[in-house]
Amino acid sequence: MKVLQLCNKPPQPIIDGGCIAINNIANGLLSEGVLLKVLTIATQKHPFLVEKIRPEFTEKTAIEGVFVDTRINIIDAFSALVTSDSYNVSRFFSPDFNKRLIELLEEDTYDIVHLESLFMTPYIHTIRKYSKAKIVLRSHNLEHLIWERLASSTGNTAKRLYLKHLSAKLKKYEYKTINEVDGIAAISFEDTSRYERLKCAVPLITIPFGINLKNYPYEPIDISEPISVFHIGSMDWEPNKEAISWLLDDIWPLVNQADVKLHLAGRNMPGYITNQANESLIVHGEVPTAIDFMRQHQVMIAPLLSGSGMRVKIIEAMGMGKAVITTKIGAEGISYTHNENIIIADTAEEMALALRSLINQPMEVKRIGKNARALITDQYDNSKIIKNLILFYNTLES
């Protein structure tokens, strides 16, 4: 089977959850003997750095990157307010990328063109014109839902109106686009249900985010050591900014345990957060490796109020046997059991109570972490997930 994977960001180097998700699909396909070619968009935020891509990956995928300037252009963004375009998506279309795509489709024959995220759907027309391959949309989330949730949680009236407008345009675009592909691989059962409610007429499958467990060491916590709390996530993603603001403004003050430290890590950490650092709030910013950072701490807090799809860092933390406290939104896509393999808390008071409880009961941290590791091993092993994806590909070809 030959697959062309079109990516909205390079899978390597791995700098955020989206990169991990794309990279795990690519490596999973390669491990199953798929002949894979990768063509990716590169941006200011996610540059194409050949020297930071593993040589073996480059050799097997012949990965190429085309620079696309996806920075917000005020004039274009304003124009999109009064047109039918979804500017969030249209800014990912590039004549240069389109030209290279045409060349690849003319040079070779593919069975599947795999689109990583809604942002690659502007190239559907080109694929249809130059190829007979089946097109599969790998949906990382429903984009309109992210902005819809951000709108509902903001107190700024003007911002709420703008976000609602943005969400409505994205929803209209998603509604139109989902039936232009041959199949959709949604990242969560919740998103699969949402696609069904959007009257999706093409084959649907749930393909959750998976990890290669050998890369995530499981080390039961030493209960003699003080419990430390952490959050890690890219701070140029709006739901993470919103979560950390809620954590620092409303949740952490209620914890009120001076001997406990909160560690914050992530790319592009805003100055207003860094400036709040003190003895109990340690702001790391971008860390060399997320896994090494998570190994040093026991309890993850992810107070997400918006977003869609699955949270990669939560799966990774659970895979390492960390006790995770998050919201129902944060846990979407995970087949969890509250108080068994994760703790769900949807108010500041519930979050603080859960944190205090774990801090004072290290054996509970150990128990929940152990159960979390077992859940990820059973249901989110990447090799099992990729086999299901390939079976889905085969059904579209038959």
pLDDT at 81 over 50: no
Give strand ranges (E) for 43-127: 64-67, 112-116
Q: How sure is the predictor about 78, in pLDDT bands with cuts at 50, 70 and 90?
A: very low
Query: Could you tell me if residue 43 is left (phi over 0), alpha (psi between -120 and 50 degrees) or otherwise beta?
Result: beta
Q: What whole-number percentage of the chain has pLDDT above 70?
A: 91
Q: What whole-number percentage of the chain has pLDDT above 90?
A: 71
CA distance 19 to 351: 29
First to last CA, the chain: 13
Domains 2-210+381-397 and 214-379 share a fold: yes
Section 281-306 average pLDDT: 94
Section 299-328 average pLDDT: 92
pLDDT at 31 over 80: yes
pLDDT of residue 85: 52
pLDDT at 179 over 60: yes
Section 259-280 average pLDDT: 92
pLDDT of residue 23: 96
Ranges of each domain in the chain: 2-210+381-397, 214-379
Q: Which two tokens stand for residue 11?
A: 């899978």
8 A C-beta contact, residue 382 and residue 212:
yes
Collapsed DSSP state (helix, strand, coil) of residue 38: strand
CA distance 347 to 337: 18
CA distance 369 to 322: 5
CATH number 3.40.50.2000 given to 214-379? yes
pLDDT of residue 86: 58
pLDDT of residue 140: 83
User: What is this structure's pTM?
Assistant: 0.82
Least confident of 46-50, 68-72, 200-204: 68-72
Phi/psi at 324 (nearest 5 deg)?
A: -115, 130
How many other CB atoms sit within 10 Å of the CB of residue 263?
18
Question: Any idea which fold 2-210+381-397 has?
Answer: Rossmann fold (3.40.50)
Give strand ranges (E) for 72-133: 112-116
pLDDT of residue 90: 79
* HSE (side-chain half, CA atoms, 13 Å) at 154: 19
